[in-house]
Structure 1
Amino acid sequence: MDGTGKQTSWMGQAMPRREDPALLRGQGRFVEDIAPKGCVFVEFLRSTVPSGTITALDAADARDCEGVLAVYTADDLGELGQSAVNALIPGAPMRPFDVLARGAVTHVGQPIAAVVATSRDAARDAVEVIWLEIEDTEAETATTPVAQWRGGPADTPAMTIASRVDHARVAPFAMEPRACLAEPVGDGLRVWMATQTPFRGRDDLARILGMDRAAVQVIAPDVGGAFGGKASIYPEDAMVAFAARDLNLPVKWTASRSDEFMAATQGRGAQSQGSLGIDADGRITSLTARMTYDLGSWTPYSAYAPARNAGRILPGPYAIPSVTVDVAAGLSNTAPMNIYRGAGRPEAAMLIERLMDKAAHKAGIDPLDMRRRNLRDGRVPGPSVAGEWIDTGDYAALLDALEIRAGYATRRADQAQRRRAGEVVGLGLSLYIEPCGQGWETARVSLSPQGRFIAYTGSSAQGQGRQTACAQIVADVLGVSPDCVDVGSGDTADLDNGIGALASRSTAIGGSAMRLAAITLRAQIATALGVNDLETDARGACVNGSHLSWDQIAARLPEAARTADETYTAAHEAWASGAAMAQVAIDRETGRVTVEDLIWIDDAGTVVNPLLVQGQLWGGLAQGLGCVLSERLAYDGDGQLLTGSLMDYAVPRANDMPRAVALHKLPTPSAANPLGAKGVGEAGCIAVPPAVLNALQDAILPFTDTDLPLPSTSETLWRAINSVQEAT
């Protein structure tokens, strides 16, 4: 209650993250911090070639090394079950992983043998003496059509404009690398994993090892970032679990940074090309697009999420009457590709936003006006031209707000003046929509005998502030303070099932499940106490004229009334949206980019906690900037990784961030869930890259209209600016 006797609403309150104090004091508990008695360590012999047949593999000397307890090759594992792959695109090719390579290798870094020893150093030393010979074979390169989206009549446009965007492969690059610790518990296993999806990890391990899933407990403790790179189980996780059962000892593995670059899943890597048909009034009459995805050497659970998302998002927020989108995919002898923050949404947004800018230039229309005259009305949810259900979003209001907040007309005038003075400056816009998770999630809310509320979510956490947001949702429903609510996540022992944290779904779907469980618990308590409703506060509730503390209430309740389990299934998918403008300057002499300003209007629907939203927007912004300006995983012609360390792979630094950033919100509640929430965790990787790339293209337009590659490095930009001078 507040001072007037009215119940305080905790929704929308900017509460500091309750998770932070322990982490800031160095009291976090990550997989590497967990050390059961007798714990031993595993290290892997990895392939040094991308494609080949194993002609010799002799581990005898390794088995004789000091401290070595076991050496495993594929022959020692017997027949194992397969890792799961989500058939998001029916009929598309799938290749589950081998725990250890069986007779052949398919990418550099693939595990071939595993050494378990009493120390990491002993295991690494033993790996070095395993004799391995591989005969090179021809690499896989073919792609095949896997999906198509069509809508509207055929079109014969008055004029067309085309664009192509090649997305560089990028590394998820979480601060905490992958890690796994498995320990035998009776006839089962307790497995600690740095994962976004503990329930999926439990099910995969049980299937691969032939165990009942009830015998496998997976716990995700503190997880130091993920970004899609910890969304699926890996061969190393399965090997750790197998060795723990086989040796009846706790077994741990923590990836090195080199392991992460070589063998962790990678993101993006798509090639996209498209064309717009335009009439004489600047109206878009058709969109034709083709997206090609390299899947890498094996297919993780969510391998097809990026391709599916990119295909179904187009034509984005625009009213284009005729749409054809083709998606192709194929396996290759490189590290596996999977979801990475945005998962197909950035590819779709980048293509349509580049096409919009090029169409505006060709038609002689300002890019902002070009977008305005081609908007679909998103204020009422409904199907897109290709049949995808799209949530609410006021795209015209987003552009209006962006124009005002940015002072757009003044900036264009300033740009013209600076160009006359010899500066290379550009302005770029982006307007985007993004789907934010489908399906279901679980939650449990209980009243403990001590009078505290205990909430468990089937979602998990890796830095988003999940405990804080869930506590606010539960407190808002129950009319108590968030301080009265303890929140747990990431342990498969707490709930029967769950999905996890990915696809910007945890608040919209997981939060809705939590709200539903809290509503059910409140009703159960009221019914058990014989009242129609509860008048509650942080200390307790009024019952028949008497105020009872929560522990007193718990003592009066039958056990069944003290706990509520709920599963919430979303009837539709929430879709977020937003608009951004970037202003860049390029140094003529060096090609160095300065992002001078970024103005961003985001619609994340109903916001539980603005501080959490701001943190997600800033984090996504940094990663989105990296994709445009610096990050690229590269292989040479022989399939060898050229960017295997931070000496070669350029993550953004503090001085790469924009000089000024203005974040604004223009929320429209989602029609897809009872919270009205939409996703926000991936928005920065969707909004920022097209705005910055369009600004770079605008900056170099006086010199060339060539499509820039990704990333657009200083060298690339210098060459673009100086190409005309070199040619003459």
Structure 2
Amino acid sequence: MDGNDTRNETRSWIGRAMPRREDPALLQGRGRFVDDIMPTGCVFIEFLRSTVPAGTISSLDVADARDMPGVLAVYTADDLGETGPSAVNRLIPDAPVRPFDILARGAVSSVGQPVAAIVAETREAARDAAEAIWLDIEEAETAHSPQTIARWEGGEQQTETAFEVAAHVDHARVAPFALEPRACLAEPVGHGLRVWMSTQTPFRGRDDLARILGIDADLIQVIAPDVGGAFGGKASIFPEDVMTAFAARALGRPVKWTATRSDEFMAATQGRGAASSGVLGCDETGRFTRLAGQFRFDLGSWTPYSAYAPARNAGRILPGPYDVPAVTADLDVCFSATAPMNIYRGAGRPEAAMLIERLVDKAANAAGLDPLDIRRRNLRDGRTPGTAVTREWIDTGDYAALLDALENRADYARKRAVQAERRAAGEVVGIGIALYIEPCGQGWETAQVTLRPDGAFAAQTGSSAQGQGRQTAWAQIVADALGVRPDRVTIGEGDTADLPNGIGALASRSTAIGGSAMMRAAEKLRGQIATALGVDHLESDHTGVWLDGAHLRWDEVAERLPAETRVVVETFTAPHEAWASGAALAQVAIDPDTGRTTVEEITWIDDAGRVVNQMLVEGQLLGGLAQGLGCVLSERVAYDPDGQLLTGSLMDYAVPRAKDMPRAILLDKLPTPSAANPLGAKGVGEAGCIAVPPAVLNALQDAILPFTDQDLPLPATPEILWRAINSPKEAT
């Protein structure tokens, strides 16, 4: 064999920790975000927003604003004519829905709701004109009664209950707080529109704009360029996006809107905000006998597309990784005069994990068992996929092995011994454990792979990116299937013109479903090329193929093939949902004089299935961990009793800082391939918000147990912890 013949070399790009190909441009200031795009003749739109949470518009006078210098148009709801409703995914069939108003029609339903839109030559002129509008609102009381919309139940109690424990968790509202705020730029193109959006779901954005504005979807192109974070906050279309597109069509000019941070706090979607309660029954040996859970989700003032995903996830995940013979989970929802609630990194999974993990720790304490021991004796066997007690199909996961790995990696026995010594010396320290499972997205995704005339490969995905490193991972998947190096593969994403349809990035689905679509498309293209060349098996390497003993470069292969043979579009529909899992341990110390928490260590064993790029996975784990800490320790969107927002800036809303990160983070993996997709992948992007909060909360509860057994609210701020430590212990 020729010394340059590499037909038999081992090629495996999946699993390699390759640096992100996206980073050089971003680090050198060559990123291209929506607000960086400035077409000729671009003008700006701003909004007059409601300053009260609920009421009837008694007066709205825009005449003075229309006469302001530089103002091109001022719109109210009366100027919009007939429009279609915003879409809501009815994951729960009987759930109530409230589509948004583009601009308030006669009444307002929350602080920050857009009432009027001003288009001007400059942002400053538009903002000045907004201040010239006379708006009078007759405030009204709001009463929103919760209603039960779903119940998950299954199984029968098999043994007598010897004792019960109860837990309650109030989850604070949190802001997605992407580094890049929401933004939209709409350009008239012929009879249609080109719309640049900072979005997780370009195809959904296209379809939503078409339906609401009454335009053929084929006339709208939506592009998501570089997107600076999302975390669920850019998963749905917003009134501002629609109004920007409407104004561009009406004026025949490009119109741009970029949210301020105040806009985001007032009018962007928020997450969490649920209240969860549960009762867990146990027999005399500490085996679980029954679980009754209840979740109440506040939906805010209108329902975004994925409004019911968190509530549905929370209910259907119970009883988590545990074998509980009888389970019920009731779901209540209500509306309120506040910002809309939607998916936020984790989307219902943290709420379920927090409830069951608090109950398990309380059961361990009541039974006199170690938290690890009671978990081990109540695990379901997840090594074979199957149907859980509530009839949810659950993917593979070796929960016993995860606990064993956690115990060994954390040196658990030694930690408990040291904890006892530190407590005896007067320190307030705690250790908490969490075991979790998480569903990782359903449905389909589209991919296209093309052999270009120059011999390189171009791939497009219906998924999108907001910093996850999709281009790097997708290039590894395509290269692995085609037997070339990743640098021969270019990746396109975020443009509805590239593919007939797609979904986007949400629900930890992109690698499992979008990656599987990409792998299938690349494999199909390889087979298609082989057939076109008249061979059963394609012998190839990075540079080309061998045919009849001769070597052809990839560009020579492309020259031999008709164009239709060199492209494959593949849609992969997952037969089941992938479920990831993991186990985490947190060690915390609380300063008894100030209540300040120090997270001393996080040990975390994660099962994300087959990993495409471990470097990217670790980045997702660490980012999710930071956000999880924010949810449990500091972040809270707050309204006063009258519905006024109290946390409208970073002076009031406490996102985690670098010094809030744990002193030590020990990450490890114990992957079991998913049975739900050919790639074998599971989700990882939301895992930090699922694993870390219950582990840290259990550690905090363990730390204050010598002082009180009260349930801590979230976030567990220094004041709350100080009061817990310094209040008399309540009788149980």
TM-score of Structure 1 vs Structure 2, range by shorter chain: over 0.9
- Choose the corresponding residue for 1:45, options 45, 48, 60: 48
The code of the aligned residue for 1:81 comes to G
The code of the aligned residue for 2:454 comes to Q
1:559 is aligned to: 563
Query: Are the aligned partners of 2:6 and 2:541 in contact in 1 as well (CA < 8 Å)?
Result: no
Matches within 5 A, 1:158-197: 158-197=162-201
Find out whether 1:530 has 2:562 as its counterpart.
no
Find out whether 1:244 has 2:274 as its counterpart.
no
Query: Are the aligned partners of 1:7 and 1:479 in contact in 2 as well (CA < 8 Å)?
Result: no
The code of the aligned residue for 1:152 comes to G
Find out whether 1:58 has 2:61 as its counterpart.
yes
Matches within 5 A, 1:125-204: 125-154=128-157, 157-204=161-208
C-alpha deviation, 1:8, in angstroms: 1.3
What do residues 609-639 of structure 1 show as CA deviations (whole Å, max 9, x unaligned)? 0001000000000000000000000000000
Find out whether 1:8 has 2:24 as its counterpart.
no
Distance in 1, Cα, partners of 2:258 & 2:161: 56
Find out whether 1:288 has 2:292 as its counterpart.
yes
- SS of residue in 1 equivalent to 2:727: helix
The code of the aligned residue for 1:270 comes to A
Distance in 1, Cα, partners of 2:730 & 2:105: 53
What do residues 420-456 of structure 1 show as CA deviations (whole Å, max 9, x unaligned)? 0000000000000000000000000000111110000
| Alpha-carbon RMSD | 1.2
Find out whether 1:448 has 2:452 as its counterpart.
yes
The code of the aligned residue for 1:507 comes to T
Distance in 2, Cα, partners of 1:719 & 1:132: 44
The code of the aligned residue for 2:241 comes to D
- SS of residue in 2 equivalent to 1:296: coil
The code of the aligned residue for 1:327 comes to L
Distance in 2, Cα, partners of 1:706 & 1:2: 70
Query: Are the aligned partners of 2:581 and 2:606 in contact in 1 as well (CA < 8 Å)?
Result: yes
What do residues 137-190 of structure 1 show as CA deviations (whole Å, max 9, x unaligned)? 111321100110010125762211000000000000000000000000000000
Q: What is the number of residues matched between the two proteins?
A: 727
Query: Are the aligned partners of 1:140 and 1:333 in contact in 2 as well (CA < 8 Å)?
Result: no
What do residues 70-96 of structure 1 show as CA deviations (whole Å, max 9, x unaligned)? 000000000101110000000100001
C-alpha deviation, 1:544, in angstroms: 1.3
Instruction: For structure 1, list consecutive stretches of 5 or more residues without a partner in the other structure.
Output: none
- SS of residue in 2 equivalent to 1:724: coil
- SS of residue in 1 equivalent to 2:203: helix
1:495 is aligned to: 499
Find out whether 1:417 has 2:421 as its counterpart.
yes
1:207 is aligned to: 211
Q: 1:725 to 1:360 in 2, by over 3 A?
A: closer
- SS of residue in 2 equivalent to 1:602: strand
The code of the aligned residue for 2:325 comes to P
1:29 is aligned to: 32
What do residues 656-705 of structure 1 show as CA deviations (whole Å, max 9, x unaligned)? 00000000000000000000000000000000000000000000000000
Q: TM-score, normalised by structure 2?
A: 0.98
Distance in 1, Cα, partners of 2:421 & 2:374: 23
Matches within 5 A, 1:85-484: 85-154=88-157, 157-484=161-488
Distance in 2, Cα, partners of 1:2 & 1:654: 50
Query: Are the aligned partners of 1:2 and 1:8 in contact in 2 as well (CA < 8 Å)?
Result: no
Query: Are the aligned partners of 2:57 and 2:138 in contact in 1 as well (CA < 8 Å)?
Result: yes
Distance in 1, Cα, partners of 2:523 & 2:366: 56
- SS of residue in 2 equivalent to 1:281: coil
Find out whether 1:83 has 2:86 as its counterpart.
yes
Distance in 1, Cα, partners of 2:560 & 2:146: 65
Distance in 2, Cα, partners of 1:276 & 1:671: 31
Matches within 5 A, 1:475-624: 475-624=479-628
Query: Are the aligned partners of 1:53 and 1:103 in contact in 2 as well (CA < 8 Å)?
Result: yes
Distance in 2, Cα, partners of 1:465 & 1:202: 24
C-alpha deviation, 1:5, in angstroms: 3.9
Find out whether 1:682 has 2:686 as its counterpart.
yes
- SS of residue in 1 equivalent to 2:278: strand
C-alpha deviation, 1:577, in angstroms: 0.1
Instruction: For structure 2, list consecutive stretches of 5 or more residues without a partner in the other structure.
Output: none
- SS of residue in 1 equivalent to 2:728: helix
Query: Are the aligned partners of 1:539 and 1:550 in contact in 2 as well (CA < 8 Å)?
Result: yes
What do residues 447-492 of structure 1 show as CA deviations (whole Å, max 9, x unaligned)? 0111110000000000000000100000000000000000000000
The code of the aligned residue for 2:557 comes to I
What do residues 496-543 of structure 1 show as CA deviations (whole Å, max 9, x unaligned)? 000000000000000000000001100111111111121111111111
- SS of residue in 2 equivalent to 1:108: coil
2:673 is aligned to: 669
C-alpha deviation, 1:417, in angstroms: 0.5
C-alpha deviation, 1:7, in angstroms: 3.0
Query: Are the aligned partners of 1:195 and 1:231 in contact in 2 as well (CA < 8 Å)?
Result: yes
Query: Are the aligned partners of 2:440 and 2:580 in contact in 1 as well (CA < 8 Å)?
Result: yes
Distance in 2, Cα, partners of 1:414 & 1:158: 33
Find out whether 1:712 has 2:732 as its counterpart.
no
C-alpha deviation, 1:402, in angstroms: 0.3
More deviation in 660-669 or 151-160? 151-160
